[in-house]
Structure 1
Amino acid sequence: MEKLTHINEQGRARMVDVSGKPVTRRTAVARSRIRMKRETMERIRQGKVSKGDVLAVAQVAGIMAAKKTADLIPMCHPVPLKSADIRFYEEGDEVLVVEAEVKTDNVTGVEMEALTAVSIAALTVYDMCKAIDREMVVTDTCLLSKTGGKSGDYVRREEK
């Protein structure tokens, strides 16, 4: 069985020591989906949500979240990001997909930054649209890919 890296010799949580690791290019892509009513999607498309431009605000929120991940997730190392990009796609008339791509040159990866970015961007969409659609569901948040580091590259196999 693999040793748990976030547990010290007393069995308590710790921040992993990354001081001996080499700096490499690290990237991560994550995705989340928001299921909503057709009318909600249409109002987002048309810019007719009373709180403003939903996608612009969610994009900024996702980028800010990526930059603040270490403040939110206790054992995450602060990572100086080289870039963070948030993209939106529609899957039909009832699903908005949020995708984040995050990059750094560091000793530790940016998977948590990408996952935090899509989570907060999706929650921002919810917040901005909740007055018109309280039945929205944020779902399917996952890591799609990552590169760099000792564990190598990873690409998620999509379920059929």
Structure 2
Amino acid sequence: MLAEHRRIGALVDALRAAGPAARTAADARALQVLFEEHVEKENGLLLPLLAGAPDVSLAGLLGGMHELLGGGEDEEAASGEGGGCGGTCGCGGSDGTDVPELDVRDVPHSLRHATVFGALEAVPAGRAMVLVAPHDPLPLLRQIEGRHPGVFAVDYRERGPEAWRLLFTRR
């Protein structure tokens, strides 16, 4: 669980760095998946054990949660000012026509598919992204088609041996 806390912190730091839109969306999705799994463990395993311990006060343990999680409201969000893309997302990026590239070769295998799903969800209709994978991602392609039938056109740009580059275009 401590390793998960460190990974969550690293993903939050990656989001703060706000790199390319596809990578940021992928990091956000990976953070969401990891956080959901982590909370499930805490709620399903840890809290029941603590609740059953007669010498532990859950109210005492959880008393500072609002301060830890709430903090102050972000000034930019409160002011309603927009992000760098011209919208209100606060991404700091541009809304150019560049095709973002998501290289998942260094993403841990356990998070790789969730990372790609998150990035693809961020691709608007008529736009595209390039996925760089360490192998031919046939199982991933089946999962994507199962989740989003007919939504993405896929075009192989490179077929190994070091990397597979696929262009995903949202129809």
TM-score by length of structure 1 reads 0.25
Q: Which has the higher strand share?
A: 1
The higher-RCO structure (CA 8 Å, 6+ apart) is: 1
TM-score by length of structure 2 reads 0.24
Q: Which has the higher helix share?
A: 2
Instruction: Point out the structure with max Rg over C-alpha.
Output: 2
